Amino acid sequence: MPGRVQYHQVTQTPGLVLGEADLGGFCFKRHFHLDFHVGLVTRGMEKIGYRGTSACLERGSVSFMPAHEIHDGAGDTASGAIHTLKTFRISAELMTAMVRDISGDDQPLHLRPALIRAPQWWQQLALVHQSLAGNSSMSALATDEQLLHLVKSLLEHSQSVKPEAIDEKLGHRQWATLLDFCHAHLAQKISLEDLAGLCGLSRFQFLRRFSKTTGITPYAWLLRLRLESACRLLASGRQSIAQVAAEVGFYDQSHFNRAFKLAYKVAPSDY
């Protein structure tokens, strides 16, 4: 029987579920999923069989199984040694939307199963999984950014779909619109979809153009805008720290305190 098994629904991104399991000599018989699975082993190894082939999933390797792909999996059945498997379960609807964003193509989705040896990408995915599973306060904007980068890397490594080439920056009018919107809605949740829609772009197009324009991600830029706005309010001395945090879009004062101290090396109370 398997040991510890946990699932975590990422509430900021409907259609994304994270899994983590400690497995020994347990075998998964031939089966399929209705969603897309990205898997990585952070301890030990797991044998995977699909389309008449068998491969070993271990540290430094990433597996990808499309929806409806028949496959099986097994740990070390001889010794029963424990291995830890982490998965990203991405619904067909969410995957289709992200691939459309990335490729700029509305064609039907045809992705191939793959086991990819890519230690650097494996390490990045392990960190993304840990971040998404362990940070319930992560904003929808940050979650969307990480997930789009995950899928873009997956498509590049599996050579399933070619990402749309995007070399342009945001225009002056687009940038002015973004500034006005973010200042006006700073106390509210702002999503990647909101920002992309203002510019008439897909989420991926916007993400690429924004990063090319500013050198940082939309999440990092928006976080800094919130913190800089907080500095102005704190300096005025007319509001409490809790009121300032809420006005600039932090729904948790402790999260505001941590972010502020990380950025300015002092607590809000000492500013």
Write out pLDDT tens, residues 72-96: 888 776 666 788 899 999 998 888 8
Q: What are phi and psi of 148, to 5 degrees?
A: -65, -40
Predicted TM-score (pTM) of the model is: 0.66
Is pLDDT of 166 > 80? Answer: no
Q: CA–CA separation, 90 vs 148, rounded Å?
A: 12
- Mean of the pLDDT values across residues 235-249? 92
Q: Residue 253: helix, strand or coil by DSSP?
A: helix
Distances (CA, A) of 50 to 55, 61, 156, 211: 9, 16, 21, 38
- Mean of the pLDDT values across residues 23-28? 75
CATH of span 225-271 = 1.10.10.60
For residue 108, the one-letter residue type is P
141's CB contacts (< 8 A; 6+ apart) are 190, 191, 192, 195, 218, 219, 222
Compute the 3-state secondary structure of the chain and give helix, strand, coil in percent, each to the nearest 5: 45, 20, 35
pLDDT above 70: percentage of residues in the chain = 90
Most confident region among 51-55, 59-63, 158-162 by mean pLDDT: 59-63
258's CB contacts (< 8 A; 6+ apart) are none
Write out pLDDT tens, residues 191-205: 888 998 999 988 878
Average pLDDT, the chain: 84
CATH of span 5-158 = 2.60.120.280
Is pLDDT of 163 > 70? Answer: no
Q: Which among 110, 111, 182 has a CA at the least distance from the CA of 141?
A: 182
Q: Considering only 44-53, 67-76, 155-164, which range has the smallest mean pLDDT? A: 155-164
Query: In the chain, where are the structural domains located?
Result: 5-158, 166-183+191-215, 225-271
190's CB contacts (< 8 A; 6+ apart) are 141, 181, 182, 222, 249
